[in-house]
Amino acid sequence: MNIINEPIRVFMRILNADKTLATGIAGNITVEVYNPLLVLALAPGAVEIGATAVYYADFTPDALGAWLVTLDCSIPPCFSFQVFDVDEDIIEALRGFTAQAY
């Protein structure tokens, strides 16, 4: 659940072609955040956590709806995307859940 005007952190682990950790490549990663109208809203930089090949970027949605985040790197070649649904508050976010009997 993501709430409007609350920060969201996006994570991505990147491996080389031989499955070793791709560390130290934050400068090769392009992060783009698109608002619910699919307009590029911002392009935050990626940050690596230590030398783990786990990278993250932060953004704060300022509108309701689905936010698209793309992460693209040139070396090694990689691409990932995530969609974050943003609601007005926690109550609205919880209304999207329904009970299911199994």
CB atoms within 10 A of CB 86: 23
Classify residue 21 by its DSSP letter. Answer: B
pLDDT attached to residue 94:
58
Supply the mean pLDDT for the chain: 89
pLDDT of res. 1: 76
DSSP readout, 11-57?
EEE-B-TTS-B--S-GGGEEEEEE-TTS-EEE-PPPEE-TTSSEEEE
- Average pLDDT, integer, range 60-88: 94
CATH of domain 2-92: 2.60.40.1930
Going from N- to C-terminal start, the domains of the chain cover 2-92
The pLDDT assigned to 88 comes to 83
Which has more confidence, 46 or 75?
A: 46
> Is the pTM for the entire model greater than 0.75?
yes
